[in-house]
Structure 1
Amino acid sequence: MPAASTTLRMLAVSVIASLTVTGCQTLDDAGRAIGRADLVNDMAARLDQALELTYSADYQLAGGQTATIAQAQEPARSAYTWPGGKLTVTPEATTRCETAAGRATCTLEAPPAPNAKPTVTMFAEAKRHGLVTPPIVVGLLTAAALDPDAVIAQSDTTLAGHHATCIEVDRSAGDFTACVTTEGALGSFTGKVDGSQVELALSRYRATVDGTAFDLPPHAGVVDRRPAS
């Protein structure tokens, strides 16, 4: 996200500046801080790049369940599907769906402002069901970069046939490992989010999106809370 990337670049500068002002850190400390900020910026830039792509990604969740992230352009649309729920963001509405007793109920709310980026709070329900989204991962990486005691390591792997860079974070607030593919899709995540252990891994990536990805679940009940035009 342009805004997020700018914030993270400012974060890197502030970390380095704080080392200079205190005067009690060694050059090795400064090097570690610079390296940490560089890793965060690289991961954030890849996740940001994905916002400008058309793609769909399937994920395997803990317990054998699945989730999907789909995104298309012109117009910009996105859909996040997890066990028992779905969030769809289009120029017409932000739609949240929940399924209970085999029936889906969807609530339509006002769409985001033009060119607005997704916020972490938008994905609260998805997070509770094990789908960790890119904005959440960026937030966790930012917190790790600000933690002087965090240990951050980088590695490479292949997920669903796609190269990915992984960041392993060891910190008192919670360890986690996040991987991002070269294309910018979230490749995998393992760790605690809000006190709950979360695991997901990319099982399939496509540079296309099925046109039905942004549709409401079949026979869903609809509650329209959008302001009257």
Structure 2
Amino acid sequence: MPSVSRLTLAGLAVAGAVLLGTSGCGDLDEASAAPLTRENLITETADQLAAGSALTYSAKYQVAGGETATVSRAQRPGRAAYVYPGGRLITTTTVTIRCEGNSCTSATVDPAAAAGLDEAPLVSPEAAQAMLATAALDPAVETEQHDTTITGRHATCLKVLSSPARTFDVCVTNEGILASFTATIDGQRIDQALTSYSETVPPDAFLVPTGAELIDKSAK
């Protein structure tokens, strides 16, 4: 029995032959020049953000009130740290550590932890992806794409409008790093912008802060 990959390649070859037999070059040119649909733009932006999860980097942001937040990510093993005013979230393949002030709690890994960040004034790449996924399911959503430069890096931005009270604008660098995020959600303004980026992470990025009390609530 042919393998799946061979069947797929054979199907593509047949489809290509049919297309070439029934369409002229002008039709192909018109198809390639067609503007991206709303769904395409949202998916493209989400995929670009997802690509950033495979990188090792440290990114600093200015968040609400002019304060600073940091997102650090490393691979092999995969882990991430989100540091924001008043707290910290560290995720690894086995545990999730949340810190508030000098108190930290360790628990079994929560895959959805970074998407929420509770009430933190920091929007994580995962949270932005979740909002894009929700927007993709709403047929009333409108989108506008534009380019910009943030801290010297080119970024592609997508403005998503679902209602006057719920809009957001997300910008992603060519590498897949969240460059900025602005939103108005239920009347509340969220504003976050990249201020610096490094392809390395601090040695203590994934450690509990010195002097903090760590309470282990991991499942035994």
State the aligned residue count. Answer: 186
1:106 to 2:104 alignment: yes
Q: For residue 212 of structure 1, give the secondary structure of its aligned residue in structure 2.
A: coil
3-state SS of paired residue (1:140): helix
Q: Distance in 1 between matches of 2:194 and 2:58?
A: 11
Paired AA for residue 140 in structure 1: M
Q: Specify whether residues 216 and 191 from structure 1 end up closer, same or farther in structure 2 by C-alpha distance, changes over 3 A only.
A: same
Shift of 1:184: 0.5
CA contact (8 A) 2:62 2:195 kept: yes
2:38 and 2:143 in contact (8 A); partners too:
yes
C-alpha deviation, 1:196, in angstroms: 2.9
Q: 1:47 aligns with which of 42, 46, 49?
A: 49
Question: Which protein is bigger by CA-based radius of gyration?
Answer: 2
Structure 1 residues 127 and 107, CA, compared in 2 at 3 Å: closer, same or farther? Answer: closer
Residue 128 (structure 2) aligns with = 137
For residues 145 and 226 of structure 1, the distance between their equivalents in structure 2, rounded to whole angstroms, comes to: 35
* Structure 1 unmatched ranges of 5 or more: 1-30, 113-117
Residues 114 and 124 in structure 2, CA contact (< 8 A), matched pair in contact too: no
Taking the aligned partners of 1:194 and 1:220, their CA distance within structure 2 comes to 35
Assess, with a 3 A threshold, how the Cα gap between structure 1 residues 70 and 164 changes in structure 2: closer, same or farther: same
Query: In the aligned structure 2, how far is the partner of 1:38 from the partner of 1:181?
Result: 18
CA contact (8 A) 2:166 2:186 kept: no
Q: Give the partner amino acid of 1:74.
A: R
Counterpart-to-counterpart distance in 1, 2:187 and 2:132: 16
Match of 1:207 in 2: 199
Structure 1 residues 12-36: Cα deviation after superposition (integer angstroms, max 9, x where no partner):
xxxxxxxxxxxxxxxxxxx88x611
Equivalent in 109, 116, 138 of residue 147 of structure 1: 138
Instruction: Say which SS state the counterpart of residue 218 (structure 1) adopts.
Output: coil
Match of 1:9 in 2: none
CA distance, structure 2, for counterparts of residue 218 and residue 194 of structure 1: 38
Query: Structure 1 vs Structure 2: percent identity of aligned residues?
Result: 42
TM-score by length of 2: 0.78
Q: Aligned-residue CA RMSD in angstroms?
A: 1.9
The match for 1:182 is 174
When residues 214 and 180 of structure 1 are mapped into structure 2, their CA distance, relative to the original with a 3 A threshold, is: same
Q: Deviations over 1:18-62 (max 9, x none)?
A: xxxxxxxxxxxxx88x61111111111111111111011000012
Deviation at 1:195, TM superposition (A): 5.3
SS at match of 1:49: helix
Q: What is the aligned partner in structure 2 of residue 90 from structure 1?
A: 92
* TM-score, normalised via structure 1 length: 0.75
Pairwise CA distance, 1:193: 4.2
Give the AA of the match of 1:107.
Answer: T
Query: 1:138 deviation in Å?
Result: 1.7
The answer for unaligned runs of 5 or more in structure 2 is 1-33
Report the CA distance between 1:192 and its aligned residue: 2.7
Distance change in 2, residues 1:106/1:42 (3 Å): same
Alignment match, 2:38: 36
What per-residue deviation string (whole Å, max 9, x for no partner) do you get for residues 133-191 of structure 1?
11221222233233333221100001111110000122215111110111111110111
